[in-house]
Amino acid sequence: MNDPIYLDGFATLPLAPEAQAAILDAWSRPGNAGSPNAAGERAARIIADGRAAIAALIGAAPDEIIFTSGATEANNLAVVGAARALARIHPGRRRILMSAIEHKAVIEPVRSLEAEGCSVTIVPVTPTGTIDLEALRALAGSDILLASFMLVNNELGTIQPVGEAAAIIHEAGGSIHCDAAQALGKIPVDVFDLDVDYLSLSAHKCYGPMGIGALYVSAGAIKPDALLVGGNQQNGLRSGTEPVALIAGFAEAARLAHSALGTDPLHGERLLSRLLDSLRERQLRVTLVSGDADRVPGGAAIAIAGMDGDTLSALLGSQVAISTGSACTSGQIRISHVLEAIGLSEQEARSVIRVFCNRYNTEGEILSATDHIVAAASRCALATGEVRQ
C-alpha cells in the first residue's frame, strides 16, 4: 500500500532525513551527559550544540533553553510552574489570561490553577481568528499574573499579534507565555521582537522527532517552579536524563529550518494556492475560514460548502491525509472550540478541513490530491443529498 499524500502538517511534519541521520548517529554511541567520562562528555557536547542551534533559531541565548518531552510539557512548565513562582512574588496578582483559541495543552494547565486560587479570564478573538487587542486592553488590569497566547493557531493557521499583546500585558505588570509550537520553522520567531517571558517549542512540528520540545525562559524572567524533580538536570528546572539522540535530531531540524526560512514558506504557499485554485476549477465552493487574516504560509482551515469534513476525511482514506480539527481533539464529537470561538455554526464548522503543504510535497501530489478530494466530495454530496453548483 502506498503512503497517503500527506497534507496534515499541522498535526505533525515529516521527519527530515538529516534529522533522522543525526538521531541514529547519536543513538549508535551511548553516553550520559551526567557521567564524568569521554562518552558522557560527548553526550554533553551534543546537548550543548543542540541548545545553541535551537536558541539561534529564535534569537535566544543557549542558557535560556530548557529541553522537555514536547510542547505539552513545555506549556505546563511555563503556565503552572511560572504561575506558582510568580504568585509567591506577587501575591496580589491572581488572574490569568488566555485567548479563546488556545490549544488544550494550555487550556487545561491554566484551568488547573483555579484550584490554587487563580481566576481565569478568556480573551475573545475576531471572526477571522486573531486575538482582539482592544478586548485585551480592556481586560488587562493590575491583578494580572500571567497571560498565555499562541503564536500560530493549530487549526486556523492564523498568526497572532503576540508582540502587541506582550506590550499590553507588561504594561499591566504581568508576565507572558507564548505557545510557538506551530510557528517554529514555518515563520520567523524572534523572542526579542515578541518580548515574551516564556516560549514553548515542539520538534515534530518543525521536521524533527516526536518526544522532544523546549521551553525558552528569558534571562530576565522569573524562573518557573520545576514540575519534575529528582536529578537536578538543567539547573534544576527539569530533572531527568536528557534524551541525547532526540536533542540531536531537534537541533538538526532547527538548523535546516533556519536555512530554509527563505524557501519553505514560499514553496508551501505556492502549493496551497495551487490546491485551492484546482478545487475551485473543479467546481467546489472553497473558502478560507480565516478570511484575509495573516496566516502561516502553506497552511489553512478550508471550508468546502455542503461537505462534512469528517465524512470527507474518511472517504479519502489512505489516499490523502487531512484532518478536521486539532489532532488532540478530533476524536471528540463536539465541534472544535476554536471554530466556535470565531462564530461558526455547527453546520459551518463541520464543513471545515485543515491542510498544510510541507517542504516535501510536490505539485504532482497536489494535483493528485485534488482529484482524490473532488472524487470524495462527489461521494460525500451523494450521501448527503448536496448538489454542487
Can you give the CATH number for the domain in which 288 is found? 3.90.1150.10
pLDDT digits 0-9 by tens, 241-273: 999 999 999 999 999 999 999 999 999 999 999
Distance CA 61, CA 71 (A): 19
Report yes or no on 86 lying in a domain.
yes
Domain that holds residue 104: 17-259
In this structure, the answer to whether residues 215 and 272 fall within a common structural domain is no
Same domain, 222 and 113: yes
Q: What pLDDT score was predicted for residue 295?
A: 97
**Domain annotation covers residue 389:** no
Is residue 266 a part of any domain in this protein?
yes
**Listed residues 259, 290, 310: the one ending a domain:** 259
Residues 95 and 40 both lie in one domain: yes
Q: Which of 259, 286, 314 is the last residue of a domain?
A: 259
Residues 230 and 275 in one domain: no
Residue 370 and residue 269 share a domain: yes
Q: How far is CA 190 from CA 210, 305, 325, in A?
A: 23, 38, 28
CA distance 106 to 271: 31
Q: Choose among 254, 158, 129, 249: nearest CA to 201.
A: 254
Collapsing DSSP to helix, strand or coil, 132 comes out as coil
Higher pLDDT, 329 or 199: 199
pLDDT band at 388 (very low <50, low <70, confident <90, very high): very low
Contact 100, 337 (CB under 8 A): yes
Q: Is there a contact between 131 and 152 (Cβ–Cβ < 8 Å)?
A: no
**Same domain, residue pair 291 and 151:** no
Active site residues: 328
pLDDT at 369: 97
What was the pLDDT predicted at 1?
A: 67
> Comparing 273 with 332, which gets the higher pLDDT?
273
Task: Confirm whether 26 is domain-assigned.
Answer: yes
Residues 231 and 278 in one domain: no
Q: How far apart are CA 126 and CA 5, in angstroms?
A: 33
- Report, as an integer, the average pLDDT of 146-160: 98
Nearest to 50 by CA among 209, 178, 190, 194: 209
Q: pLDDT (tens digit, 9 = 90+) per residue, 190-210?
A: 999 999 999 999 999 999 999
385 pLDDT band (50/70/90 cuts)? low
Whether residue 327 has pLDDT greater than 50? no
Render 203-229 in DSSP notation, one character per residue.
STTTTS-TT-EEEEE-TTSPPPPPSS-
pLDDT the model gives residue 316: 92
Give me the pLDDT at residue 231, please: 86
- Its pTM stands at 0.94
| Domain tally, the chain | 2
Give the span between the Cα atoms of 94 and 102, in whole angstroms. 20
- Give counts: helices (H), strands (E), the chain: 14, 12
| Structural domain ending residue among the three candidates 232, 259, 286 | 259
Nearest to 241 by CA among 51, 22, 36, 35: 35
Same domain, 198 and 157: yes
CATH of the domain at 192: 3.40.640.10
> What mean pLDDT, rounded, does the chain reach?
94
pLDDT, tens digit, for every residue of 100-125?
A: 999 999 999 999 999 999 999 999 99
Same domain, 22 and 117: yes
| Rounded distance between C-alpha atoms, residue 321 and residue 329, angstroms | 16
| 35 shares its domain with 109 | yes
Angle formed at CA 89 by CA 88 and CA 92, multiple of 5 degrees: 85
Asked whether residue 184 falls in the same domain as residue 219, the answer is yes
Strand pairing partners for 123? 99
Residue 318 lies in a domain: yes
Cell of 183: 510557528
Torsion, Cα of 356, 362, 367, 373 (10° steps): -30
Check whether residue 275 and residue 236 sit in a common domain.
Answer: no
